[in-house]
Chains A and B, each alone.
Chain A
Amino acid sequence: MFPSGRRLDRSTALFVTLLAVGFLIATFDVRSSGDSITTVFRGGAQTLVAPVQQGVDFVIRPVVGFVDGISNIAGLSDQNVRLEAEVQRLEQRLLETAALERRVAELEAINDFAPPEDLATVTARIYSAGASTFDQIRLIDRGSDHGIVVGQAVVDEDGLIGRVDLVTKSSARVRLITDPLVSVGVRLQDTNQTGVTTGRGDELLRLDMFNATEPVREGAVVLTDGSLFPPGIVVGFADETKSADVGFALRTTVDPAAAFSQLDFVKIVVGWSPLEADPQVRDPLVDAPASTEPGAGRE
């Protein structure tokens, strides 16, 4: 790169300088948190670009829908046969579910879980995805003007989608539960044992259980436990039957309930806060109150 007798040329010097600036910005962004200048800058830029992205999305959506429709016609016959078999299977499962629902209602009553249907939600449309294959984010067309704040859970009819992690006045960024930076406190519906799912960056979630006295059964329903997300939202289904490996520690995978590749409309749960649900669970960014009396600092 530096032949003998030649000084560093201008483009190489500029390259090294820009690289250093890039590293400095990244370091600053990682080290700062909350309402830092980078967050404000990002929010401002997002506000500017969002209308353009929403416009492009508005134009492209019908075209994509039309192309999808055309490509689906060939597969409709096969799909009908599959759906008929699926209906029969689901009817069978419906009978089994009624018994299971009674058990869940009992468990929820015992554990004082509020059913997620009771929570206030805001409906939003997804208009943009991440800028690269590695990004596990979606942008929605609702922001602080609609009551959205950072940390709120995002769901659709299938289950948990993710968490709001950046908000502007008219848009917000949702980090999907498949992102390695997102962990969800969960419990298994059948055994009521708790654990934590973490994104792996692909279609599956990693489930870690630290006190697994019973095996995880394939297909077991995994629900939020109410620590950071509202309780009782379906996260996914256990991917395989697995028992504890060492002691009571167990690691397995969960197939998310939500179809992330087909997301269109989502709901943001605005009527729930982890601080209201459990005084033991606090926002790590919020300083603990000076008083140590029971109940101090609760809303």
Chain B
Amino acid sequence: MTNVKVIIALGLVLAAVIIQTTVFQHIRPFGYAPALGMLTVIALARYLDPEQALFVAFTGGFLQDILGGAPLGLWASTFTVIAFITLKIREREIAGTPIVLLGVFGLTVIGQFTYAILGTLFGQGIINRPGFLGDLLVPALYNVILAYPIFWLVKVAVRPPERSWAT
């Protein structure tokens, strides 16, 4: 059952990355797209066991690396960091819609910033790009808009026994 849950989770991340690279190639309000892969990882880290969440985040990030243009491992590391922070926040049992949405916004900004730092360290020159602030903030706002449907979908798909209908 545990393995099935991990496979489903990986399928969700792969689907998110494929949607990101195809659908959001065309739909880009104000020139930006949501960070759908990252949002899915945040949602999965909220519902999966810690080790599963970290493994899925790393593998999902690696999938995004393969389909992207930057060196392999950068999104894998970034998603792992985001999953870890989400797990630490989850331990504090913070609840309530505004807090969750604020959390999604903050985590996405942290994720984008982490990737920008790693990308710059590995020669991608991201931080000094014009419009860098927009690259951090706008996808985070879009993620807030998409947070509830994605959280619902992830909850239904991986269905944690102890939290199935409570959260």
Q: Given known contacts A10-B51, A201-B125, A202-B131, is B25 in contact with A129 (CB within 8 Å)? A: yes
Q: Is B17 an interface residue (CB 8 A)?
A: yes
Q: Given known contacts A133-B135, A134-B135, is B116 in contact with A18 (CB within 8 Å)? A: no
CA–CA, A269 to B135, complex, Å?
32
Q: Is the CB of B35 within 8 A of A25?
A: no
Which A residues are CB-close (under 8 A) to B112? 133
B-contacting 9-mer, from A50-58, A96-104, A106-114 = A50-58
A-contacting 9-mer, from B1-9, B77-85, B93-101, B153-161 = B77-85
Cβ-Cβ contact count across A and B, 8 Å cutoff: 162
Which A residues are CB-close (under 8 A) to B41? none
CA–CA, A52 to B138, complex, Å?
28
Q: Is the CB of A60 within 8 A of B73?
A: no
Q: Is the CB of A134 within 8 A of B70?
A: yes
Q: Is the CB of B71 within 8 A of A26?
A: yes
Q: Is the CB of A18 within 8 A of B58?
A: yes
For A173, give its contact among B27, B69, B124, B138 (CB under 8 Å): B69
Q: Is the CB of A26 within 8 A of B131?
A: no
Q: Given known contacts A134-B70, A134-B119, A135-B70, is B26 in contact with A64 (CB within 8 Å)? A: yes
**Interface readout for B2-45 with A: 1 if CB under 8 Å, 0 if not?**
00000000000000011111111111100111010100000000
CB distance from B160 to the nearest CB of A (A): 16
Q: Is the CB of B26 within 8 A of A53?
A: no
> A residues 40-61 with Cβ under 8 Å of B?
41-42, 45-46, 49, 52-53, 56-57, 60-61
Q: Is the CB of B55 within 8 A of A14?
A: yes
Q: Is B107 an interface residue (CB 8 A)?
A: no
Q: Is A179 an interface residue (CB 8 A)?
A: yes
Q: Is the CB of B18 within 8 A of A132?
A: no
CA–CA, A279 to B116, complex, Å?
39
Which B residues are CB-close (under 8 A) to A137? 68-69
CB distance from B145 to the nearest CB of A (A): 16
Q: Given known contacts A131-B37, A133-B112, A261-B31, is B66 in contact with A42 (CB within 8 Å)? A: yes
Q: Is B75 an interface residue (CB 8 A)?
A: yes
Q: Is B102 an interface residue (CB 8 A)?
A: no
Q: Is A219 an interface residue (CB 8 A)?
A: no
CA–CA, A173 to B66, complex, Å?
11
Q: Is the CB of A53 within 8 A of B21?
A: yes
Q: Is the CB of A29 within 8 A of B73?
A: yes
Chain A contacts to B: CB under 8 angstroms: 10-12, 14-15, 18-19, 21-27, 29-30, 38, 41-42, 45-46, 49, 52-53, 56-57, 60-61, 64, 126-137, 139, 165, 173, 175, 179-181, 200-202, 204, 261
A-B contact pairs, 16 of them (CB 8 A): A11-B84, A18-B54, A22-B77, A45-B66, A45-B67, A53-B22, A56-B22, A131-B21, A131-B67, A133-B33, A133-B138, A179-B69, A180-B125, A180-B129, A202-B129, A261-B28
